Amino acid sequence: MNTRRRFLQLGASMSLASMLAACGGEDARAESTSSPSSSTGATASTPENNLKGWRMPDEAEPHTATWMAFVANANVWGPELAMPVKNTLANIANAIVQFEPVNMLVNANDYTLAKQKLDPRVTLHIAEIDDLWIRDTGPVFVKNNRGEQAGVNFNFNGWGKKQSYQRDAGVSKKVCELSGRTMLNTKLVLEGGGIEVDGQGTAIITESGVLNPNRNPGVSKVACEAELKKLLGIQKVIWLPGIAGKDITDGHTDFYARFASPGVVIAGLEHDQASYDYAITRLHLDILKKSTDAKGNPFNVLVLDAPSKVRSDYESKEFAAGYINFYVVNGAVIMPQFGDMETDALAKATLEKAFPNRRVIALNIDPISAGGGGIHCATQQQ
């Protein structure tokens, strides 16, 4: 399993002028978004935010809606993948909207296409966007005991400035505006795919993606944990080492470990000894089995084995074949399947065990996997 968006690092080798030109090619009717500099505001350590008691819910808690982004620019994805990716995004959204509302951001020049492909229950919002990975570009929603909801803007910077992100830097602000939620600002730079929570004070985070000079130079674990406590209500962080420099995300948590519920963790395991994830998934599994949550309870760790093969249509060395990138919605779990009948069935059975009161729906998402991501990467819960 080669995880997440390695080939998109090609964008980092482009000149600044060419990246800006590529990003400027969309229809000018799309609404404007913030620049990278304007998305970073005051820290969340103000007295007002401290008193709010914000908490990031577990993904399995009830959602108001799911947010997605209907975009696959040819300059990023290539002409062969652009349309198949949009078709796959539509399939994912059409599956989710059977269970909860879906809000879809779309560039103005893709609006008609999106309208044709999406279930009419999916709500379209014209916005300027660069790429589809709203898990990372969008806000992390939090709530408090008074029923208030807000979105944290974690200052998306193109995964450490590896890809052009001028438009995507404004997605958090745009989503907060469209949802009518207050936006909380911080100086921390991280992505939603880099943090996994149980909703009761425990987080799993990869060091490689957050404590990285390309996001947070000079920021210590202690300082990071203090800020996440104020923003997300985190009391304890399980730090996984992750692995930097092998994919564009620098090893996001949501391709290694996920909470099914408080006390239950699902971990991915790679069996291909040639993969850079072979050793690191074993190290992560060992750490998780020896760890306890914020209440001092040990984890029940379930394992999802990576598939040994995938369908040949979109197979490449960048293909992200990870079941761990599932997405939990109201009443269901949306998971990928890769054409390995044995591991597809085992993964579905494991998720049915972990989520006994939800339907588990398996989708072919090969075009998105060919770009190094998955269903969780392409969605963000509110």
The residue from 23, 176, 224, 377 that is catalytic is: 377
Q: How far apart are CA 237 and CA 35, in angstroms?
A: 31
Sequence-distant (6+) residues with CB within 8 A of 134 are 67, 68, 69, 105, 171, 175, 378, 379, 380
Q: How far apart are CA 237 and CA 205, in angstroms?
A: 7
Q: How far apart are the first and last CA of the chain?
A: 30
Three-class DSSP category at 11: helix
Three-class DSSP category at 133: coil
Q: How is residue 161 written in tokens?
A: 């400035």
Q: How far apart are CA 368 and CA 40, in angstroms?
A: 30
One-letter amino acid of 227: E
What is the per-residue burial (b if ≥16 Cβ within 10 Å, else e) of 310-348? bbeebbeebbbbbbbbbbbbbebbbbbbbbbeebbebbb
- Please say if 377 is a catalytic residue: yes
Q: How is residue 339 written in tokens?
A: 């054409």
What is the per-residue burial (b if ≥16 Cβ within 10 Å, else e) of 124-145? bbbbbbbbbbbbbbbbbbbbee
Please report, for the chain, how many H helices and E strands are present, in that order.
13, 16
| 197, containing H or E segment | strand 195-197
Sequence-distant (6+) residues with CB within 8 A of 205 are 194, 195, 196, 237, 238, 239, 240, 253
Contact 350, 294 (CB under 8 A): no
Residues labelled catalytic: 377
